[in-house]
Amino acid sequence: MKLYLVPTPIGNLDDITLRAIKVLQSVDAILAEDTRTSGVLLRHLTISKPLHSYHIFNEHQTVQRLVNQLKEGKTLALVSDAGTPGISDPGFLLVRECIKNEIPVECLPGPTAFVPALVNSGLPNDRFTFEGFLPHKKGRQTRLSELAGEERTMVFYESPHRLLKTLQQFADLFGSDRPASVSRELTKMFEETQRGSLSELIAYFAQKTIKGEIVICVQGRKGGKGKDAGKAFENEDDDDE
């Protein structure tokens, strides 16, 4: 009886760990965010196991059934399409339910996008805050306002078509000279990390067709919360679109 959370590569298939392979070979079944995507990886690793769907749309309904299987003595592995399950991906509900039911849970260390992006950024990483995806509409301005006085380096996941809009909002909120970085396609053939002020990053990406997967890092505010922290958006509605 055990639930493993198994990180999978975020691009380069060589980033699978030896232990991840051993665990995937040993479990009774694998729960996958997308069975086709994980099927490709499992075939590459020549691992043949029952593969079940576990994604954001069926997470609530399937958790109890999975807890029952685990209580019957099964060992399951949860994988997401890429990176570490539970990090901006399904997993939290199942982990919480397992802990409630005293089912052992083990998350293997392994690939995740925010760690290499943060370290590559060259921004302070002794303390940082992982913000994942900002809300697209409702709650976006509130969340941004909350970050106005943040002193730690902030890490965001973003999609390519929203990158420029988000960088512009960051420039309005944090100031256009705030140091930041954009990491794109980590571990893949066209990996790049651009570093500079927010205005430099906007100028760079405004000239490009932006493709691929993206992590943005923004340095925190220096010198503590000022009296103006959060003012940039205080009169704006939550629904910006």
**Site residues, ligand SAM (CB under 6 A):** 10-11, 80, 82-84, 87-89, 112-114, 157-159, 183, 185-188, 213-215
**Interior/surface letters 130-158, b for 16+ CB within 10 angstroms, e for the rest:** bbeebeeeeebbeebbebbebebbbbbbb
Distance of closest approach, residue 163 Cβ to ligand SAM, in angstroms: 10
Do residues 36 and 79 lie in contact, with contact meaning Cβ atoms separated by under 8 Å?
no
Nearer to ligand SAM, 69 or 158 (CB): 158
Nearer to ligand SAM, 131 or 150 (CB): 131
Nearer to ligand SAM, 140 or 221 (CB): 140
Distance of closest approach, residue 78 Cβ to ligand SAM, in angstroms: 11
* DSSP 8-state assignment for residue 187: T
Residue nearest to ligand SAM (CB): 83
Do residues 38 and 51 lie in contact, with contact meaning Cβ atoms separated by under 8 Å?
yes
| Measured distance CA(17)–CA(85) in Å, rounded | 15
Distance of closest approach, residue 131 Cβ to ligand SAM, in angstroms: 11
Q: How many CA atoms lie within 13 A of 193 on its CB side?
A: 19
Nearer to ligand SAM, 62 or 166 (CB): 166
Distance of closest approach, residue 87 Cβ to ligand SAM, in angstroms: 4
